[in-house]
Structure 1
Amino acid sequence: MESLIPIYTLEQFAESNNISLLNKEILSFSCGQEDMDAIDLNYPIKIKCFSFLLVTGGEVKLNIDFQEITLHNKDIVFLYPNNVLELIKISSEASFQNLFISVEYFTNLNLKLNSADALQILSNNFSRVVSLCSESFDNIHRSFKRLEVLNNPESEVIFYEEIQKGIVNLVMYELAGYVQKQQNPLMKILRKEDIAIKFSHLVATHYQTRRDVQFYADQIFITRTHLTRVIKDVYLKNPKQIIEDKIISEAKILLLKSEFSISQVLTELKFQDQPTFTKFFKKKTGFSPNAYRKSLASA
């Protein structure tokens, strides 16, 4: 069954926006005030890659997995391949820069911090907003713009791929260093945090079909008891709560859209039947799916 929420690869997203790329593993593009009329608001999508959204002016309100956040000038948010992104409201003076990086490209970056460590520095959950200082903002903004120019098919730079990889590395180091400095200059990456971020990625990938904690413990090669202890320490929730929260977030996003029937929603989320879905949803939210949808309509 085709997903109710449109899912794009990086290349498909570029094609849908008529953007030509030299290197199809990365995409950097600007959205200025003159581009805002063409942006679809209240339209959830998934893009199967890592991405950054850097606000360069005004205010941008969006949902990430149904969690509403507001970004201001110099804010940057890091998104994972399975996040659902939905733009809600954009101020009249808003502008922003996007950078998309394929999973394969990201994992092959030549960082002295490995990919998991870099992710952990940038996020202590599924996504994280960072408010940048002027210096870091300027450095990252220039890098995004340079990547945009280098990836244009009209670019005549011979070693564009090597330069692009160097710039993406610089962006990662700039962000990792900035976040690390803001938290604690002596912060060290701990084993338990590495386990927690791996668990988060596995949940984002398998939550529709695997809701048993043992599956995730097996994937990380640790015991279920150890996984539970680690997740409680890092996220202040147990693994089952994290899995169920992800399912509920997805369900809420789908129920927002009146064109999707409740039957379609439960099928999308791999529930066996409507009573099972209704019981699960009501236990987590206090509403039946139908009552929740009606409450949104009357809000």
Structure 2
Amino acid sequence: MKSIIPIYTLEQFVETNNFELLNKDLISRKVDPDNLDCIELNFPAKINSFSLLLVTAGNVRLNIDFQQITLQRNDIIFLYPSNIIEFLEVSSDTCFQNLFLSVEYFTNLNFQMNSQEALDILSNNFSKVITLCENSALNINHNFDRLSALNNPKNDTLFNREMQKSIVTLVMYELAGYVQKQRNPLVKTFRKEDIALKFAHLVGQHYQTRRDVQFYADQIYVTRTHLTRTIKDVYDKNPKQIIEDKIISEAKILLLKSGISINQVMKELRFDDQPTFTKFFKKKTGYSPNVYRRSLMNA
């Protein structure tokens, strides 16, 4: 079955926000107290791009798929096209830089990585928060500003795109090198976290068809008891909760689209019938799918 989950492209994002850009495969934007109203809270969305979000002041609370994350000053997170992003709260003094890169643009950068630690920050389909030192945060923030300036049509020159590509590559190498240097204190790679990352990745692949915890335990080659204990330690939720939260996140995204019937949503998420889906959705959210959809329209 072809997925009907809406994926917003960078082009749609540019049109919605009326950005004027030389290169629409790359967007670098700054959010600060003067334009915080551009952030729509409690609105889960998926955008077909890689992205970086660097907080330079204040606090940002997000949902990344099923995991709630709070970012503070000098925290940066790398996000993937498969992630569902929902802003929950931003402090009144919040400032952050957001860099979006189209999938084609990012994959054509052709990074040359020699260490597994460096490669991990770029290749694992799971978001990681890195707390940068002051110097690295300033460097990356400065490069985001340069990318924004180079993408302004008023600053068009013959080599703008080449300079942009060089700066993006520089940012990614700075991050990868920082992770490699710091090792375990910043990005945990212990056995427990490895299992949790594998589980999260598998849930993203199979949540529609496999909701039994034993399936995921078998895929990771651990017992169900060990998987449950590990996931509880890392995420403070049991595996079943995480699988169900992923389904609810996708259901909410689908229900945002008025052109998709609730029956279609039910079929996309592989429920046997609409009453079963309605019961599941209401148990997790407190609302039936119909009521939830009407509340979005009236908001």
TM-score class, shorter: 0.7 to 0.9
1:140-179 equivalences under 5 Å are: 140-179=140-179
Cα deviation for residue 90 of structure 1 reads 0.9
Equivalent-residue separation in structure 1 for 2:44 and 2:119 (angstroms): 24
1:85-100 equivalences under 5 Å are: 85-100=85-100
Quote the residue 1:294 is aligned against: 286
Look up the equivalent residue of 2:102 and give its one-letter code: S
Query: Is 1:61–1:89's contact at 8 Å kept on the other side of the alignment?
Result: yes
Equivalent-residue separation in structure 2 for 1:263 and 1:257 (angstroms): 11
Quote the residue 2:235 is aligned against: none
Task: Give ranges in structure 1 of 5+ residues lacking alignment.
Answer: 214-223, 280-287
Cα separation, partners in 2 of 1:256 and 1:14, compared to 1, 3 Å? closer
Q: Deviations over 1:205-229 (max 9, x none)?
A: x54666499xxxxxxxxxx98x634
1:1-299 equivalences under 5 Å are: 3=4, 6-113=6-113, 120-122=120-122, 126-183=126-183, 204=204, 206-207=205-206, 211=210, 228-229=220-221, 245-246=242-243, 248-252=245-249, 254=251, 265-274=265-274, 277=277, 288-294=280-286
What's the secondary structure of 2:152's corresponding residue? Answer: coil
Look up the equivalent residue of 1:23 and give its one-letter code: N
Equivalent-residue separation in structure 1 for 2:51 and 2:27 (angstroms): 9
Equivalent-residue separation in structure 2 for 1:123 and 1:243 (angstroms): 26
Equivalent-residue separation in structure 1 for 2:157 and 2:227 (angstroms): 45
Cα deviation for residue 246 of structure 1 reads 5.0
Equivalent-residue separation in structure 1 for 2:209 and 2:176 (angstroms): 32
What's the secondary structure of 2:153's corresponding residue? Answer: coil
Cα separation, partners in 2 of 1:117 and 1:134, compared to 1, 3 Å? closer
Task: Give ranges in structure 2 of 5+ residues lacking alignment.
Answer: 232-237, 292-299
Cα deviation for residue 61 of structure 1 reads 0.9
Equivalent-residue separation in structure 2 for 1:67 and 1:75 (angstroms): 16
Equivalent-residue separation in structure 2 for 1:234 and 1:111 (angstroms): 34
Query: Is 1:58–1:73's contact at 8 Å kept on the other side of the alignment?
Result: yes
Look up the equivalent residue of 1:16 and give its one-letter code: T
Equivalent-residue separation in structure 2 for 1:234 and 1:108 (angstroms): 37
Quote the residue 2:295 is aligned against: none
Equivalent-residue separation in structure 1 for 2:254 and 2:269 (angstroms): 15
What's the secondary structure of 1:70's corresponding residue? Answer: strand
Cα separation, partners in 2 of 1:120 and 1:234, compared to 1, 3 Å? farther
Taking structure 2 as the reference length, what is the TM-score of the superposition?
Answer: 0.72
Query: Is 1:255–1:262's contact at 8 Å kept on the other side of the alignment?
Result: no
Cα separation, partners in 2 of 1:295 and 1:198, compared to 1, 3 Å? closer
Equivalent-residue separation in structure 2 for 1:271 and 1:242 (angstroms): 19
Quote the residue 1:217 is aligned against: none
What's the secondary structure of 2:69's corresponding residue? Answer: strand
CA RMSD across the alignment: 4.3
